[in-house]
Amino acid sequence: MKLTKEQAQEIKDQQSQQNKTKRVTAPELEKILYEAIPVLDHGFVRVVDYMGDDTSIVQSARVSYGKGTKKVSTDSGLIKYLMRHWHTTPFEMCEIKYHVKLPIFIARQWIRHRTANVNEYSARYSILDKEFYLPSPDNLAAQSKSNRQGRGEVLEGNQAKEVLDLLKNDAEKTYKDYEMMLNERFDGTTIDENKKGLARELARMNLTLNTYTQWYWKTDLLNLMNFLRLRADDHAQYEIRAYADTMLDTLKKWVPTTYEAFMDYRVGGTEVSAKGKLIIQKLIKGENVNSEDSGLSKREWNELMIAFGLKDKLI
């Protein structure tokens, strides 16, 4: 991640603001506000604004519960209760806005979360930065043999080098040709005074999918957690997980009580089907159960055993 001098200054200027407000604040989040937290080789995540804190959830829930909340007495108890019972609307009452720099192929996954507001840097109007994602060697994984959507072992030796060279050279070549077509270099200088430049909205099609883009992305706390549950998960692609993990840290600084409930009930929890419940009940009673008679598919059986630590991993 390289910030230009101007960009670094702009961030510093925002961070030096000292405004007074009657709104609630999240002191831990204020500390890192506007900071560009590095992710992958050239990406970052910046929290640029937020609204509400843990108490805002309680406040909204108590409107909907009115006088009816005597039994769940503390804020923390109420937040856990809401999380456990999928009373989701109070979590929509907090909002957060990020500025994110990320490779285009990850942006394409990310954008599928529709309940968010987005403004992306437009390659129709502007020239994209000359930055491409190149995986670090330990993330250069082979296709998994057992899982069509997963990664297997890491590539080694020569092949790893070959792959990295291809990625690097192709990204640089296509970017160079992008500049050539635009008849303009990234720094704004013209290449050939006697030529026109191809329209930006066309030239961009020559870039590779590991080119970095950036956007403002704003969502409410509920939908942020939906995003994180899916994208900080083991099944998510490593590159988007890197972003989700960084954002999990910002969640903790913003709404610590909600974060705790989220880790317990969503991230660390599991779902059990009706058939799966019967298996677990038998296991608790000490009855004999096996995959064949379970009524579960082989894969389902494995997933259930792994979820409760009765088996090591999916074979």
Distance CA 240, CA 279 (A): 35
Q: How far is the CB of 62 from a copy of itself (least distance, A)?
A: 9
Supply the Cα-derived Rg of the chain in whole angstroms.
Answer: 24
Among 7, 9, 144, 190, binds a copy of itself (CB under 8 A): 144
**CB-nearer residue toward a copy of itself: 48 or 245:** 48
Quick check: is 148 catalytic? no
Distance CA 153, CA 165 (A): 19
Cβ(224)–Cβ(251) below 8 Å: yes
Of residues 257, 260, 230, the one with CA closest to residue 244 = 230
Please list every residue from 100 through 139 that binds a copy of itself, using CB under 8 A. Answer: 103-105, 107-108, 111-112, 114-115, 117-122, 124-127, 133, 135
Please list every residue from 11 through 70 that binds a copy of itself, using CB under 8 A. Answer: 14-15, 17-25, 30, 33-34, 48-52, 56, 59-61, 63-70
Q: How far is the CB of 256 from a copy of itself (least distance, A)?
A: 17
Please list every residue from 226 through 285 that binds a copy of itself, using CB under 8 A. Answer: 230, 235, 237, 263-265, 267-277, 280-281, 283-284
Q: How far is the CB of 118 from a copy of itself (least distance, A)?
A: 7
Tokens 């503390």 belong to 74
Please list every residue from 165 through 224 that binds a copy of itself, using CB under 8 A. Answer: 166-167, 170-171, 173-174, 177, 180-182, 195-202, 204-210, 214-216, 218, 220
Distance CA 192, CA 276 (A): 69
Q: Answer yes or no whether residue 74 interacts with a copy of itself by CB under 8 A.
A: no
Q: Which pairs with CB-CB distance under 8 Å and at least 24 residues apart come from 1-10?
A: 1/36, 1/38, 1/41, 1/42, 1/43, 1/44, 1/101, 2/42, 2/131, 3/36
Q: How far is the CB of 227 from a copy of itself (least distance, A)?
A: 13
Residues designated as active site: 231
